[in-house]
Chain A
Amino acid sequence: MSDRIVVIGGGPAGLEAAAMAGRLGAPVLIVEKRSHLGGAPIAESYAALTHGLQSAEELMGKMMAAATDLDRVEVRTESEVVAMSGTGGNFTVTISSNGSEETVDAGAIVLATGFQHFDPGRETQQYGYYEFPDVITIQDAEGMLKEETFVTPSTGKPPERVAFIQCVGSRDRQIGNEYCSKVCCGISSKQAIEVRQQVPDARVFIFYIDMRMYGYWENEIYWPAQEQHRVNYVKGIVTEVLAKNGRLIIRGEDTTMGRPMEVPMDVVVLAVGMEPSPGTRHMADILGIATNKYGFVETVHDVLDTVTTAVAGVYVCGSATGPADLDDTISSAGSAGAKAVAYLRSGAEVPA
C-alpha cells in the first residue's frame, strides 16, 4: 500500500491536481514527457489566455510554483510512464528517463496528458495549410502575438486583412470529430482583439457557422471584440482557400446575405479544434482505461463524476477527457487530485 500519487502530465491539469493532492498532504510525483512544465500554453507559446487576456507564461508560472513549492511534490521531466502494474492502492509504475528505467510505488494515478491541436493537413487540404505560408493555425498565431510580431508570413509585413475560419477539424463527420471543440470561438475572438491591438490598421474577420461563446465569454470576449475592437463577424464558414494573382482568396457563402463570397485576404487563421494528445491515447492503453471513439478518456459518469475512471485508483482530468478550456481544466484537475487523496484515505475503498 502506497500513499504516493503519480500525476502523469505537467500541464495546467497535472499541476493543479498535484498542488491539490500535495496540499491535502499526499506525496506527489509529476511525470512530464517534455523538458518543462506548463503543458500546451508553454510548449505552443500561447500569448494571452482566454478569457481575461492575462499572460499565459505568467499564469502558468504561478501554477508551477503552487505545485513545486510544496515539499511533497516531486517533478520528473523528460520522463515517461512506460508500464503500470498492480491494482488501486498498490500500483507499480515504470518510468523511463533518458534511457534508464525505474519503478515507483503509487496508491493512485492521475492522468493529465491533455490534447493536441487538430492538424489541418491531416484529413483535408481544402484550406491549403501546407500549401500557402499565409494560411496559419491559431497556435501559429499565438506565437506571433506573443512576440508582438503579427505579420503576413510570406512578406514579413503587417497584414491589411485577416480572416479567421472557425470549426476547422471540429463538428465534422467526414473527419470523425463530430464534437465542438468548445474553445476556438473564444480563442479566435481573443486573437482578433490582439491583432486589432497590435496591427490597428488591419481589418479582421471571423467566419463562423454559429458563435459558441458560452457564459461570460459572450460579454467578456465576443461583444468587446465586435463593439470596441471592430472585429467583423460574418456568418458562413469558408469552403476553401485558393490563390489568385498571388493573393489568397477565401471562398464561401455569406449566409445572412445568401450570396456567394470570394474575398481576398492576407492572412487566414484556421481555428483548429482539439483532439486527444498522443500521450493521452498511449497512457490510456498502458493504464487500461477506456476511451471514447475520438480517443478521449471515459469517466464513470458523464455528469456526476467527470474524473473517476473505471479502473479503481486511476483518475483523469483536463482535456484528456474531451475539449476543455482552462477554467474547466482547473476545476476537473482539483477534483481529480482531491478524489485521489480521498481514495487513499478511505480504507473501505482501498483494496487490501
Chain B
Amino acid sequence: MTRGPNPKVDPERVMELEHAVIDGMDVSGHWNRMFEQRVIFDYDIHQLDRVTELDGGESMGWCYQCAQCVPVCPVDHVGTYGPRRIFRNLQLGQDFFANDDLWLCTTCANCLRVCPKEVDMLQIMPAVRKEAVLAGDVPKELQDVFEKTARYGNPLGKNAKRRAAWTKGLDVDVPLISELDRKVDVLWWVSDYPSYHPRGIDASRALARVLTHLGVDFAILGAEERHDGDSMLRAGESGLFEMLAEQNIETLNQYEFDVLLTTDPHAYNAFLHEYPQRGGTYNTAHYTQFLEERIEAMGLTESIDRTITFHDPCYLGRHNGEYEAPRTLIGALPGSELVEMWRSRENGYCCGGGGGGMWLDGLAADNQSMRLSEKRVREAVETGADTLCVACPYEVSRFEDAVKSTNNDGSLEVLDIAELLAAALGLATD
C-alpha cells in the first residue's frame, strides 16, 4: 500500500496481482497495479432498469437493503458476492450482464427464504443469464457444458449410447423399458452423474439392488434418457432446456408407468414444476420419498456402525420442502446415529453445484476464497460424524473432492443414502 504525502488523505485502494499472465504475457507485480476507484461519481440507473425490465427481473428493484440475505447466502461467506450488493452495484451502474457475479449464484433459494421484500433470485438469475447467453457472454467452462449437453444429451459429454453401461455386470437385473414392451410400476429416471460418474454409478448400483430387494417392478430408459435440463434453465440456457424438455416428454409419453422415480433433486424439481406446463405430467417421487414409504418392507438388519451427518440438497429441501424422508431413512439404519450440522433443513448450506455452479469451478476459484463444498465439508467434520450422507448426485463428487482438499481424507466418508441402505440390507457390493 502506498501513501500520499498527506497522511490524512485516504489513498485509493491499491490492487496488485502477485502473479498475472494476460494473453501469454507475464504482467506480475507492479505492471498490473491498479487503483480501485473509491469515489462514486454517478448513479447510472439504466443498468438496474435493464434487469427490472426483464420478465422475471422485476423484483431486483425491490431491495431495501435490510441485508438479511447476506448471512444466509452461501456465496457471500466466501467472497464479495451477495444478493444485497447486486442491487447496489446495479444502482451504481455495474453491467450485471457481463459480470462474474451473474454466475456465482447457485440458486440455492436461501436468500428468498428470508427476504422480506421477496426479491426472487430464482427468477432474476435465469432471466439475466438468458440475455447473457443470447449475447454469447457466458463463462467458457459453462458454454462448453451447454454444447456438450446439446450434443450428447448429458453435461459430461459422454456417449449417449453408453448411458446404461453402469448396469453391466450387476448382480441384479435393470431392464430397459423399451425392451420390456409393457407397463411398469416404476420408471427410474437415473440422471447423468448416476449413469456416468464412477461414484454416481456406485450409488445407482446400490439403489438398483435396494429396489430389487424390495421386489419393485422397475425399468430405466437407458440411451433414451437425456439430461433433465433443470440446471441449464437456472444457468440461463432456456433454449437448451426447452429442447431437452420437449425430447424427454416425447420419450416419457411413449411409455406406461405409475411412478417416475428420480435420483436427482434437480430432475425431480423439473418434473414437478417445469414439465407439466409443457405437456409432461408425471407422478414423480424422489428416491428418498419412494423408499421412506417402504421402510418397513425393507427389513434393515445389518448394523452399519456409523455416525452420520446429512446434507440437505437445495432442490429437495428448500425448493420442494422435503426434509423428512432422508432423515427417516437414516434414522432406520441399524447402528447409526444422525448428528445435524448447525445449518440444516431450511437453512442448509449449499454444495455449490446448483444453478450451473456444477460447471463453474474455474469462475468460483477466481472469485471465492474456498469452494462451497469445502466449507460444507468442514461443517460436517465439526459434527464429529464419520459419514457425510447425501441424496443428490451432484454432491458425492463435489464433497469427495472437498474432503481431499481440506485434508480430511480418511476421517469423513461421503456416501449416498442408497449406499448406506444397501449396506444395512447386507446387499452385495462391487
Interface of A toward B, CB cutoff 8 Å: 203, 205, 211, 222-223, 226-227, 230, 232-235, 254, 256-257, 259-264
Query: Which A residues lie within 8 Å of B48 (CB)?
Result: 230, 232
B88 partner, pick from A203, A222, A256, A260, beta carbons under 8 A: A256
Say yes or no: A263 contacts B91, CB within 8 Å: no
Across-interface contacts of A230 in B (CB, < 8 A): 45, 48-49, 52, 61
List 19 A-B pairs, Cβ < 8 Å: A203-B43, A223-B62, A226-B61, A227-B62, A230-B49, A230-B61, A232-B43, A232-B91, A233-B65, A234-B43, A254-B40, A254-B92, A256-B65, A256-B67, A256-B88, A257-B40, A257-B88, A260-B40, A261-B39
Asked whether B38 is an interface residue with its Cβ less than 8 Å from the other chain, the reply is yes
B38 pairs with A260, CB closer than 8 A: yes
- The verdict on A257 contacting B92 (CB below 8 Å), with A226-B61, A233-B64 known, is yes
Q: Which of the residues B42, B49, B61 comes within 8 Å of A227, measured between beta carbons?
A: B61
Least Cβ–Cβ distance between B67 and chain A, in angstroms: 8
> For the complex, what is the distance from the CA of A223 to the CA of B119, rounded to whole Å?
13
Other 10 A-B pairs with CB < 8 A, given A260-B40, A262-B40: A203-B43, A205-B43, A211-B64, A222-B64, A227-B61, A230-B52, A254-B40, A256-B88, A257-B88, A264-B42
Q: Report chain A residues within 8 Å CB of B91.
A: 232, 234
Q: Which residue of B lies closest to A163 (CB)?
A: B43
In the complex, A16 Cα to B92 Cα: how many Å? 47
Q: How many of chain B's residues touch chain A, expressed as a range?
A: 20 to 34
Q: Which B residues touch A232, using CB under 8 A?
A: 43, 45, 48, 91
- The answer to whether A261 touches B49 (Cβ under 8 A) is no
Per CB-CB distance, the 3 closest pairs between chain A and chain B, nearest first, are A261-B40, A260-B39, A227-B62
* A213 and B41 alpha carbons, distance in the complex (Å): 29
Q: How far is the CB of A237 from chain B (nearest CB, A)?
A: 15
Using an 8 Å CB-CB cutoff, how does the interface string of B104-140 with A read, 1 for contact, 0 for none?
Answer: 0000000000000100000000000000000000000
> Given that A230-B49, A230-B52, A232-B91 are contacting pairs, would A262 and B61 also be in contact in the complex, using a CB cutoff of 8 Å?
no
Q: Which residue of A lies closest to B45 (CB)?
A: A203
Closest Cβ of chain B: how far from A264's Cβ, in Å? 8
- A349-B91 Cα distance, complex, nearest whole Å: 62
User: What A residues does B40 contact at CB under 8 A?
Assistant: 254, 257, 259-263
- For B49, the chain A residues whose CB sits under 8 A away are 230
Return the contact of B39 from the options A205, A226, A227, A259 (Cβ within 8 A): A259
B326 to chain A, nearest CB (A): 38
- Chain A residues with CB under 8 Å of B42's CB are 263-264
| Residues of chain A with a CB closer than 8 A to B45's CB | 203, 230, 232
Residues of B within 8 A of A259 (CB): 38-40
- The minimal Cβ–Cβ distance linking A262 to chain B, given in whole angstroms, is 6
How long is the Cα–Cα vector from A227 to B52 in the complex, in angstroms? 10
What CA separation (Å) do A303 and B84 show in the bound complex?
39
B52, chain A: closest CB distance, angstroms: 7
CA of A305 to CA of B61 in the docked complex: distance in angstroms?
43
Q: How far is the CA of A178 from the CA of B52 in the complex (A)?
A: 39
CA distance A211 to B64 in the complex (A): 10
How far does the alpha carbon of A302 sit from the alpha carbon of B45 in the complex, in Å? 45
Q: B residues within 8 A CB of A260? A: 38-40
User: How far does the alpha carbon of A324 sit from the alpha carbon of B267 in the complex, in Å?
Assistant: 57
Complex-state Cα separation, A123 to B61, whole angstroms: 37
Contact partners of B65 in chain A: CB under 8 A: 233, 235, 256
Q: How far is the CA of A233 from the CA of B65 in the complex (A)?
A: 9
Which residue of chain B has the shortest Cβ distance to A251 in the bound complex? B39
Q: Which of B42, B48, B64 has the most CB of A within 10 A?
A: B64
Q: Which residues of B contact A254 (CB under 8 A)?
A: 40, 88, 92
Question: Known interface pairs A232-B91, A257-B88. Does A262 touch B64 (Cβ–Cβ under 8 Å)?
Answer: no
Contact of A262 among B39, B67, B88 (CB under 8 A): B39
Please give the distance in Å from B55's CB to the nearest CB on chain A.
16
Q: Which residues of B contact A263 (CB under 8 A)?
A: 40-43
Smallest distance from the beta carbon of A222 to chain B beta carbons, Å?
8
Task: A262 to B42: give the CA distance in the assembly, Å.
Answer: 7
Query: Who on chain A is nearest to B63 by CB?
Result: A226
- CB neighbours (8 Å) of B52 from chain A are 230
B88 cross-chain contacts in A, Cβ below 8 A: 254, 256-257
Instruction: Kindly state the separation between the CA atoms of A211 and B66 in the bound complex, as whole angstroms.
Output: 11
Docked pose: A256 CA to B62 CA in angstroms:
16
CB-defined contacts of B92 to chain A, threshold 8 Å: 254, 257
Docked Cα-Cα span, A240 to B99, in Å, equals: 33
In the complex formed, the residue of A with least CB distance to B84 is: A256
Q: Which residues of A contact B64 (CB under 8 A)?
A: 211, 222, 226, 233
Across the interface, B62 reaches (CB within 8 A) one of A205, A226, A234, A257, namely A226
Min CB distance B268 to A, Å, is 33
Expressed in whole angstroms, the minimum distance between the Cβ of B90 and any Cβ of chain A is 10
A263 to B41, alpha carbons, bound, how many Å?
5
Q: A204 — nearest CB in chain B belongs to which residue?
A: B45
In whole angstroms, how far apart are the Cα atoms of A234 and B64 in the complex? 9
Minimum CB distance partner of A253 in chain B? B40
Q: How far is the CA of A260 from the CA of B88 in the complex (A)?
A: 14
B264-284 to A contact mask, C-beta < 8 Å, 1/0: 000000000000000000000
Q: How far is the CB of B12 from chain A (nearest CB, A)?
A: 10
Bound CA span A263–B40, Å: 7
Determine the chain B residues whose CB is within 8 A of the CB of A234 once the complex forms.
43, 91
Chain B residues positioned under 8 Å from A262 (CB to CB):
39-41
The minimal Cβ–Cβ distance linking A283 to chain B, given in whole angstroms, is 41
Chain B residues, CB < 8 A from A233: 64-65
Tell me, rounded to whole Å, the shortest Cβ–Cβ distance linking B285 to chain A.
38
Nearest CB in chain B to that of A228: its residue: B61
Bound Cα distance from A236 to B213, whole angstroms: 65
How far is the CB of B45 from the nearest CB of chain A, in Å? 5
Closest Cβ of chain A to B96, distance in Å, is: 15
Distance, CA A203 to CA B49, complexed state (A): 11
Kindly identify, within residues 10 to 64 of chain B, every residue whose CB is under 8 Å from any CB belonging to chain A. Answer: 38-43, 45, 48-49, 52, 61-62, 64
Q: How far is the CB of A112 from chain B (nearest CB, A)?
A: 36
Q: Nearest A residue to B37 by beta-carbon distance?
A: A259
**A161 CB, min distance to chain B CBs, angstroms:** 8
A256 to B43, CA, bound (A): 14
Report the minimal beta-carbon distance from B127 to chain A, rounded to whole angstroms.
17
Most chain A beta-carbon contacts within 10 A, residue among B40, B67, B92, B117: B40
Bound Cα distance from A205 to B44, whole angstroms: 11
CA distance A256 to B67 in the complex (A): 10
* B117 partner residues in chain A, CB cutoff 8 A: 223
Considering the chains assembled together, what is the distance between the CA atoms of A259 and B40 in angstroms? 7
CA distance A230 to B40 in the complex (A): 20
* Complex CA distance for A261 and B40, rounded to whole angstroms: 4
B276 to chain A, nearest CB (A): 30
Min CB distance B262 to A, Å, is 37
B contact residues around A211 at 8 Å (CB): 64
Bound-state Cα–Cα, A333 to B84, Å: 43
CA distance A82 to B45 in the complex (A): 55
A222 to B91, CA, bound (A): 18
